[in-house]
């Protein structure tokens, strides 16, 4: 086996401390089953909101190839300077996976340049995730679709730029559909938004969900090439002489 991928999982880690229903589902934090699903091929670090610099210091980011981000209740508590620091690292090549309600995070909205708003219903209902790009590496090992018996509904319109690649589309029992697996590139960095993951349901224990996140981590690994140079360039014909 080759060298393990360096992954940092960032989790607010608030719900699990104050909400008994969430604590019952994720007693060790939402990050725990995500980390378990990646353990075989990733070197994992956990970072949380209440750590110094939210656990995302320059040293941590220097040692991160792919960042996974889950947030919900405290988006506005994330310091702007940390968001800017992470944003620069993504543009420089660090991969990023945005999960569920982190669509409203400062980081994702900065990356997308839109409101990232959507419709939702959190009563819990069946979600069917259809694979709409079966040749994509993030869909490897997933059938034509998979189902989650209980999830929060997210419905269109989802105010994001048109994805570079769309891997999954969700259908909900209430009839709504949603672009639930969206790929982007910003600068040198690859970004994947994956919809499932409401805190009161055991979504991150699901084998298919863990497989998608694992595939996405491998897809988002930084490209091995120098960053582009931006300068006052000489005319092309002078370079050909």
pLDDT tens figures, 195-233: 999 999 999 999 999 999 999 999 999 988 777 778 777
Indicate the pTM of the whole model.
0.94
pLDDT at position 33 over 80: yes
* pLDDT level of residue 237 (50, 70, 90 thresholds): low
pLDDT by residue (tens digit) across 38-72?
999 999 999 999 999 999 999 999 999 999 999 99
pLDDT, mean over the chain:
95
- In the structure encoding, which two tokens stand for residue 182, read together? 């969206």
Give the single-character DSSP code of 63.
T
Rounded CA separation 37/147 (Å): 18
3-state DSSP assignment of residue 121: strand
pLDDT at position 156 over 90: yes
Residue 102: exposed, middle, or buried by beta-carbon count in 10 A (0-12, 13-18, 19+)?
buried
pLDDT by residue (tens digit) across 105-145?
999 999 999 999 999 998 899 999 999 999 999 999 999 99
CATH of region 5-114+180-225, choose from 3.30.70.20, 3.90.76.10, 3.40.50.880, 3.90.226.10: 3.40.50.880
Domain ranges of the chain: 5-114+180-225
């Amino acid at each position: 086996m080759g060298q393990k991928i360096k992954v940092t999982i960032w989790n607010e880690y608030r719900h699990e401390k104050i909400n008994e229903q969430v604590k019952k589902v994720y007693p060790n934090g939402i990050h725990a089953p995500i980390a378990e699903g990646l353990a075989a091929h990733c070197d994992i670090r956990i970072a949380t909101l209440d750590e110094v610099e939210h656990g995302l210091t320059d040293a941590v980011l220097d040692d991160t190839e792919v960042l996974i981000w889950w947030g919900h209740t405290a988006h506005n508590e994330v310091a702007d300077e940390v968001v800017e620091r992470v944003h620069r690292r993504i543009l420089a090549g660090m991969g990023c996976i945005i999960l569920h309600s982190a669509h409203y995070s400062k980081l994702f909205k900065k990356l997308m340049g839109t409101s990232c708003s959507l419709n939702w219903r959190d009563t819990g209902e069946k979600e069917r995730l259809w694979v709409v790009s079966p040749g994509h590496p993030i869909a490897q090992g997933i059938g034509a679709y998979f189902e989650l018996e209980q999830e929060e509904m997210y419905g269109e319109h989802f105010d994001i730029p048109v994805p570079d690649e769309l891997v999954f589309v969700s259908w909900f029992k209430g009839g709504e559909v949603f672009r639930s697996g969206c790929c982007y590139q910003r600068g040198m960095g690859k970004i994947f938004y994956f919809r499932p993951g409401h805190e009161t349901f055991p979504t991150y224990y699901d084998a298919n969900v863990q497989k998608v996140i694992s595939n996405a981590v491998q897809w988002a690994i930084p490209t091995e090439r120098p960053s582009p140079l931006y300068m006052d360039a000489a005319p092309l014909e002078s370079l050909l002489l």
